Amino acid sequence: MPYPVLTLVGMLVPLTPAMHFLFTHQFDVGQFIHLATASAASWTAWLDVIISAVTVLVLVYFEGHRLGMKRLWLFCIATVFVGPSFGLPLFLFRRWQWTKQLASQSTSALVRN
């Protein structure tokens, strides 16, 4: 199952350079935002990330509710504060666990009858 590895990579890869920048520049968030949005190329990347994040949030909401999953807000926080590279694999891993659990419960109910 690749989701746990993708979740870890999706958290560490974006956070590592961001934390390095903030520690080296005395947590100057304003400068970070200015540099991150300084060109059309960076805006292209940011808009792609924003659209991906909204897509992940929509998926979490609808798929999570459809399956009756709990604590969906955790995946939203992961997506908003780190990014879709963290929130999506985290959600997919939990969804895989949840559906596996539902299938085993369903099988157990059939065996008891």
Question: Given CA atoms 78, 81, 82, 88 in this order, what sign does their dihedral have?
Answer: positive
Question: Are 51 and 16 within 8 A, CB to CB?
Answer: no
User: Residue 63, Cβ neighbours under 10 Å: how many?
Assistant: 14
pLDDT category at 110 given cuts 50, 70, 90 is: low
Residue 112 pLDDT > 80: no
pLDDT category at 106 given cuts 50, 70, 90 is: confident
Give the domain ranges of the chain.
3-112
Q: Is 70 left (phi over 0), alpha (psi -120 to 50) or beta?
A: beta
pLDDT digits (tens, 9 = 90+) for 24-65: 999 898 999 999 999 999 999 999 999 999 999 999 999 999
Q: pTM score, two decimals?
A: 0.88
Question: Are 79 and 53 within 8 A, CB to CB?
Answer: yes
